Amino acid sequence: MSSLQLHHSIYDRGAVEQTAQAFEDYGTYEIHQSTESDHLQVDIEATDPADTNELIGRFANYVLSLSIATKRSRQ
Amino acid sequence: MATQKKAEPIVLSDSERNLVTILVNTDVYPTEAVYGAAYIFIDKCYVLLDAPEPNRLSVALRGQESLDEKALDALAGEFLNELLAQTLREMVCAQNRPLLEAVVGKAISGAMGPAPTPEIDLSELDALELDDEPFEDPLGIAMSWEEKYGKEKKTKKKLTKDGAAPDPTVSEG
């Protein structure tokens, strides 16, 4: 299992949940607040373990674009 | 020798992990500019942002395909150029914001059509008594000049020619 650390000042929790839903066909995702830092931790397990790196990368891009869109719509 | 505070971004390449990390000082490059540049790079590579310390953002760019150190440095360079362009864009936007808002406001109000006319209360008019009968005009104010004086002039001329008063009942064609 791999994990992504997403800083809460940059990434929106709603965007993380939305991304997990959008990528549900490709793996399983567990989102929880990190106890040690200001990060949301997303544990990712790819359906096909060979695709783990690509899945993490695509997940990161998707959640970043959604978070930026959310921030801009709030301004 | 005086120490100089480093404001420029710090670039760390890691070809084994196919990754280049750029540390950006948000006092120099606004956070919005970092977001803008990162958003553009989503198409080229995998992007992960982090805030390791106050006023610092780290941007991790990972190649979608395997990249050597030279390619990673080139990727970082492209990102820094884009970051500079986005920073300038933010500055220009901030300077021209009042003008932009005024122009957009004017365009929107123009597209919405003319302002609605205020509703006028005409109920008082109902209370007025208006009859359809023509009003009396004893002084002939409503008559035209020709009606009032035109024929009289001609009869005066006739009077001077013949020397006798004309018959008022006879009308001339």
Give the Cα separation of A11 and A66 in Å (integer). 9
So what's the pLDDT on residue B2?
Answer: 46
Checking ipTM against 0.90, whether it exceeds it is yes
Contact assessment for residue B51 and residue A9, using Cβ atoms and an 8 Å cutoff: yes
Does any CB of chain A come closer than 8 Å to the CB of residue B23?
no
pTM greater than the 0.80 cutoff: no
Q: Give the mean pLDDT of chain A.
A: 93
Mean pLDDT (whole number) for B20-45: 95
More confident residue, B158 or A42: A42
So what's the pLDDT on residue B6?
Answer: 57
So what's the pLDDT on residue B13?
Answer: 86
B50, B56, B58, B90, best to mutate vs chain A, most A CBs in 10 Å:
B50
- Dihedral angle at the C-alpha atoms of B80, B81, B83, B84, nearest 10 degrees? 120
- Partner-chain contact B48 A60, CB within 8 Å: yes
User: Which of A7, A9, A57 minimises the CB distance to B46?
Assistant: A57
Q: At what angle do helices B31-41 and B69-111 cross, to 10 degrees?
A: 110
- Distance (Å) from the alpha carbon of A29 to chain B's nearest alpha carbon: 17
SS (H, E, C) chain A: CEEEEEECCCCCHHHHHHHHHHCCCCEEEEEEECCCCCEEEEEEEECCHHHHHHHHHHHHHHHHHHHHHHHHHHC
A3, A64, A67, A70, best to mutate vs chain B, most B CBs in 10 Å:
A64
